[in-house]
Amino acid sequence: MEGGGRPSALQAALLAASTALTALLYSVYRQKARVARGLEGARRVRLDGDLRAVLLEVPGRCVPYAVIEGVVQSVKETLSSQFVENCKGVVQRLTLQEHKMVWNRTTHLWNDYEKIIHQRTNTTPFDLVPQEEGAGVTVRVMKPLEAAELSLETVYEKFHPSVQSFTDVIGHYISGERPKGIQETEQMLKVGTALTGVGELVLDNTTIKLQPPKQGMPYYLSTADFHALLQKQEAGVRFWKTLTVLFGVATCAVLFFILRKRYRHHRERRHLRQMQEEFRQAQERLRRDADPQGGETLKNACVVCLSNPKSCVFLECGHVCSCHDCYRALPDPKRCPICRQDVSRVVPLYNS
């Protein structure tokens, strides 16, 4: 602690950082908890012939947050895989990712580094249809790329290692970067995939649409069922809650340490003031006893006991400040109470 019982700069910075981090974690936890509660309260509707009648009964022909499960079916022409024959889908994502080793000047180690150098996503309109054929109802999926969780299956993946000459190797060691190669990946949402959609379900004229919700809730297009999707969100809530509690306890511990130090400092100051007050009262009593008529106070009192007269001359410093009894009580090696010099010898003082 610094003077006056104030916390040091390091303690104040630690308290501020832990408090800010706890507040940030709590904000993330609340957001995750709100999403989990919203997902748990989402209305589950069946993709069957009664769906249109259900939407006609709700206000605005809209269910703000609904869960619906169906199978992917293309509306127009499907997208064909560039690498796999007879692989058709409605969302296609092609990615080129660079892999290299980067020299860390702090740890003196080579670390893996990945960077996406090119990515292209193609989409085509698609519907969700019932798994049972002949139901005659479809749900048009709008803006699939805005989904918080869009499940795409990796249909092709190949790593192209880089070819390096001896000169390249030397140059890479000098520059601190060693390329490993390029990874080529193709992901698709294939036709016939069972999909769980969570979003706003609305009846627009004769078309039933599933689109991103307007209340700020996340939009999901996942191959997992609703129960697994909910469990995943609840697991995330528990994780962020645990982090918030841990950092909150750490913040409370830092605050307790600072307050405890400040309390101890305050108690020591109070004890010091009490001792000073007792000393002042003792001096007042001594003056009253030495001169009860209010005359000149006793100036020849021993500075140690404040009662006996001074009777010793300390050499070599020459101070006259102590009685003989207090001189004998001084610890060895004996030092002058005034200047703290060593006392080589003592000469008795006689007042005439």
Kindly state whether residues 173 and 239 are assigned to the same domain.
no
pLDDT (tens digit per residue) in 212-245 = 998 778 999 999 999 999 999 999 999 999 999 9
Portion of the chain with pLDDT greater than 90, in percent: 45
Helix (H, G, I), strand (E, B) or coil at 93: strand
Instruction: Tell which of 179, 209, 224 closes a domain.
Output: 224
Cβ atoms of residues 347 and 320 within 8 Å: no
Q: Is residue 214 part of a domain?
A: yes
Same domain for 70 and 152, yes or no, is yes
Residue 89 and residue 208 in one domain: yes
In a domain, 293, yes or no: no
Terminal CA-CA length for the chain: 54
Q: Tell me if 33 is assigned to some domain.
A: yes
Q: Which of 40-49, 113-122, 271-280 has the lowest mean pLDDT?
A: 271-280
Using only the alpha carbons of the chain, give its radius of gyration: 42
- In a 10 Å sphere around its CB, with 0-12 CB exposed, 13-18 middle and 19+ buried, how is residue 260 labelled? exposed
At residue 292, the 3 state secondary structure works out as coil
48-54-55-56 Cα dihedral, nearest 10 degrees:
120
Q: Is residue 52 part of a domain?
A: no
261-281 per-position pLDDT tens digit: 888 888 888 888 888 888 788
Residues 235 and 220 in one domain: no
Note the pLDDT of residue 243. Answer: 95
CATH number of the domain that 313 lies in? 3.30.40.10
Q: What is the mean pLDDT of the chain?
A: 87
DSSP string, 215-265: SS---EEESS-HHHHHHHHHHHHHHHHHHHHHHHHHHHHHHHHHHHHHHHH
Q: Are residues 205 and 257 in the same domain?
A: no
For residue 208, the model assigns a pLDDT of 92
Please indicate, yes or no, whether the overall pTM of this predicted structure exceeds 0.85: no
**Tens-place pLDDT, residues 178-203:** 889 999 999 999 999 999 999 999 99
Are residues 216 and 78 part of one domain? yes
Dump pLDDT digits (tens) for 144-184: 999 988 889 999 999 999 888 888 878 888 888 888 999 99
Rounded CA-CA distance 113/52 in Å is 51
Say whether both 15 and 125 belong to one domain.
no
Pull the structure tokens for residue 56. 């006609």
* Owning domain of residue 182: 59-224
Q: What's the total number of domains in the chain?
A: 3
Given pLDDT bands bounded at 50, 70 and 90, which one contains residue 296? very low
Residues 110 and 202 in one domain: yes
Same domain, 75 and 191: yes
Do residue 217 and residue 239 come from a single domain?
no
